[in-house]
Amino acid sequence: IFNLESWRKMSRIKTDIVTDIRLDSDKIIELKNNNEQFLIAKGRRKTYHILTYGCQMNEHDSEKISGMLTSIGYVETEDEKKADLVIFNTCLIRENAELKVFGKLGEVKGLKRKNPNLLVAVCGCMMQREEIREKVQKKFSFVDIIFGTNTIHELPMLIYNVEINKRKSVDIVDNTELIYEDMPKMRKFKHKALVNITYGCNNFCTYCVVPYVRGREKSRDPEDIIQEIKLLAEDGCKEVTLLGQNVNSYGNNLESEFTFAQLLYAVNEIEGIERIRFMTSHPKDLTEDLIKAIKECDKVCNHLHLPVQAGSNDVLKRMNRKYTKEHYLNLVEKLKEAVPDIAVTTDIIVGFPGETEEDFSETIEMVEKVEYDSAFTFLYSVREGTKAALMEDQVPDEVKHERFNRLLDVLYPIVLKKNQDCIGKVFPVLVETAEDDELTGRTEHFKLVHFKGSKDLIGEIVNVKVTDVKTFHMKGEIKKYGDTPLLKG
Does 160 contact ligand 5AD by CB under 6 A?
no
Partner whose binding site includes residue 245, from ligand 5AD, ligand SF4, none (CB under 5 to 8 Å by kind): ligand SF4
Q: Which stretch binds ligand 5AD (CB under 6 A): 77-85, 214-222, 266-274, 380-388?
A: 380-388
Residue 353 or 489 with smaller CB distance to ligand 5AD = 353
User: Taking CB under 6 A as the rule, which mask of x and - marks residues 272-311 in contact with ligand 5AD?
Assistant: -----------------------------------x-x--
C-alpha to C-alpha distance for 121 and 151, rounded to whole angstroms? 13
Q: Applying CB under 6 A, which of residues 383, 400, 442, 465 lies at the interface with ligand 5AD? A: 383
Q: Which residues bind ligand SF4 (CB under 6 A)?
A: 201, 203-205, 208, 210-211, 245-246, 282
Helix or strand (DSSP H, E) at 451: strand 448-452
Rg, C-alpha atoms of the chain: 23
Q: Applying CB under 6 A, which of residues 90, 381, 419, 443 lies at the interface with ligand 5AD? A: 381
Footprint (CB under 6 A) of ligand 5AD, residues 191-220:
207-208
Q: How far is the CB of 289 from ligand 5AD (least distance, A)?
A: 23
Does 349 contact ligand 5AD by CB under 6 A?
yes
What single-letter DSSP state applies at residue 300? B
φ, ψ dihedrals at 212, nearest 5°: -80, -30
C-alpha to C-alpha distance for 2 and 136, rounded to whole angstroms? 31
User: Taking CB under 6 A as the rule, which mask of x and - marks residues 397-436 in contact with ligand 5AD?
Assistant: ----------------------------------------
Q: How far is the CB of 321 from ligand SF4 (least distance, A)?
A: 8
Residue 93 or 276 with smaller CB distance to ligand 5AD = 93
Q: Applying CB under 6 A, which of residues 380, 404, 427, 451 lies at the interface with ligand 5AD? A: 380
Partner whose binding site includes residue 458, from ligand 5AD, ligand SF4, none (CB under 5 to 8 Å by kind): none
Q: Give ∠ CA 92-95-97 in degrees, rounded to 5.
A: 60
Q: Applying CB under 6 A, which of residues 7, 378, 427, 451 lies at the interface with ligand 5AD? A: 378
Residue 54 or 73 with smaller CB distance to ligand SF4 = 54
- The residue type found at 403 is R
Q: How far is the CB of 397 from ligand SF4 (least distance, A)?
A: 22
Partner whose binding site includes residue 204, from ligand SF4, ligand 5AD, none (CB under 5 to 8 Å by kind): ligand SF4
- 232: CB partners within 8 A, 6+ apart: 193, 195, 240, 273
What single-letter DSSP state applies at residue 147? E
Q: Which stretch binds ligand 5AD (CB under 6 A): 60-68, 74-82, 266-274, 373-381?
A: 373-381
Residue 149 or 309 with smaller CB distance to ligand 5AD = 309
* Alpha helical stretches, state H, 164-275: 210-214, 222-234, 260-268
Footprint (CB under 6 A) of ligand 5AD, residues 307-326:
307, 309
Q: Applying CB under 6 A, which of residues 289, 314, 347, 402 lies at the interface with ligand 5AD? A: 347
Partner whose binding site includes residue 203, from ligand 5AD, ligand SF4, none (CB under 5 to 8 Å by kind): ligand SF4
C-alpha to C-alpha distance for 158 and 154, rounded to whole angstroms? 6
Q: Please, which contacts does 404-413 make with residues 24 or more away whose CB atoms are closer than 8 Å?
A: 404/350, 404/351, 404/377, 404/379, 406/360, 406/364, 407/348, 407/350, 407/360, 407/363, 407/364, 407/367, 407/377, 408/377, 410/364, 410/367, 410/368, 411/367, 411/372, 411/375, 411/377, 412/471
Annotate 64-96 with b (16+ C-beta within 10 A) or e (fewer): bbbebbbbbbbeebeebeebbbbbbbbbbbbee
Label residue 424 exposed, middle or buried (CB < 10 Å: 0-12, 13-18, 19+).
Answer: exposed
Q: Residues interacting with ligand 5AD, by CB under 6 A?
A: 93-94, 207-208, 307, 309, 347, 349, 378, 380-381, 383
